[in-house]
């Protein structure tokens, strides 16, 4: 079972290495690499989520005939939602299940603070406050300086997103949030407008990057879905 993993802001293909290294043989985690990072570091950064989705589509569209899952964290959740819309419009097989973590509903994104316009110090302070990057990067000035252009581009892409109301998806969705993601919890009911099926909501201890403390649990959640549904 392929699981296409879409990146969070500032993330790259290697961001899901812990999932790859600890997954059972029957789950194949495939990390999506966007331009301007990882093995595509020399390509221009994208500052529009729709262009990102087109790029992802070009990477995976020929590999959707077998059952598959989608997983996105933070920005990757918005990309997953938009990618599913693209897949449906193109008449390709839909994912069996969508897993979204560390995210707010697409319909609420326009209310977000425009962080990509902040000064350098304000931007760093904001990242620390919201837990917008793993601690290992936030605490290393050289790493942070390297990732800042990627982060700003990704934040700009997210914060310029304009939501278009469409018919609810006919797909099962699991939303996983950290216990300290207060704003995401306040908006949890908004997920009901995204899908006709009742979204499953899971709580795990931690801040925005709780996934690195709970990757084994998240893998187990996915494994159980595959086992129970016999995709």
The residues spanned by each domain of the chain are: 2-229
What is the spatial distance between Cα 93 and Cα 67, in angstroms, rounded to a whole number? 8
What is the spatial distance between Cα 2 and Cα 63, in angstroms, rounded to a whole number? 9
Task: With CA atoms as reference, report the closest residue to 34 among 197, 158, 170.
Answer: 158
Could you tell me if residue 116 is left (phi over 0), alpha (psi between -120 and 50 degrees) or otherwise beta?
alpha
Inter-residue contact 36 to 45 (CB < 8 Å): yes
Beta bridge partners, 175, equal 100, 201
CATH classification code of 2-229: 3.40.50.1820
Q: Number of C-alpha atoms within 13 angstroms, CB side, residue 166?
A: 14
80: number of Cβ within 10 Å: 26
Q: Number of C-alpha atoms within 13 angstroms, CB side, residue 228?
A: 8
What is the pLDDT tens value at each position of the chain, 231 positions in all? 999 999 999 889 999 999 999 999 999 999 999 999 999 999 999 999 999 999 999 999 999 999 999 999 999 999 999 999 999 999 999 999 999 999 999 999 987 778 887 888 888 887 777 765 667 777 787 877 888 899 999 999 999 999 998 999 999 999 999 999 988 999 999 988 899 999 999 999 998 889 999 999 999 999 999 887 766
Q: Looking at residue 134, what is its pLDDT?
A: 65
**Structure-token pair, residue 6:** 């879409």
Q: How far apart are the first and last CA of the chain?
A: 8
What stretch of H or E contains 111? none
Q: Looking at residue 123, what is its pLDDT?
A: 83
């Amino acid at each position: 079972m392929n699981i296409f993993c879409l990146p969070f802001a500032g993330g790259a293909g290697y961001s899901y290495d812990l999932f790859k290294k600890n997954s059972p043989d029957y789950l194949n985690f495939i990390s999506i690499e966007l331009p301007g990072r990882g093995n595509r570091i020399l390509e221009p950064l994208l500052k529009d989520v729709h262009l990102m989705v087109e790029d992802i589509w070009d990477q995976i569209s020929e590999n959707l005939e077998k059952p598959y899952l989608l997983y996105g964290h933070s920005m990757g959740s918005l990309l997953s939602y938009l990618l599913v819309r693209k897949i449906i419009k193109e008449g390709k097989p839909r994912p069996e299940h969508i897993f979204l973590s560390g995210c707010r509903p697409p319909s609420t994104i326009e209310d977000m603070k425009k962080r990509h316009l902040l000064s350098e110090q304000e931007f760093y302070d904001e990242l620390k406050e919201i837990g917008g990057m793993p601690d290992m990067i936030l605490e290393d000035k050289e790493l942070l300086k390297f990732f800042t252009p990627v982060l700003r581009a990704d934040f700009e892409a997210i914060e310029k997103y304009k939501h278009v109301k469409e018919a609810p998806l006919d797909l099962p969705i699991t939303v996983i949030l950290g216990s300290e993601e207060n704003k995401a919890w306040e908006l949890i009911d908004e997920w009901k407008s995204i899908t006709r099926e009742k979204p499953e909501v899971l709580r795990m201890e931690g801040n925005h990057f709780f996934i690195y403390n709970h990757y084994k649990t998240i893998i187990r959640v996915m494994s159980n879905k595959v086992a129970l549904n016999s995709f």
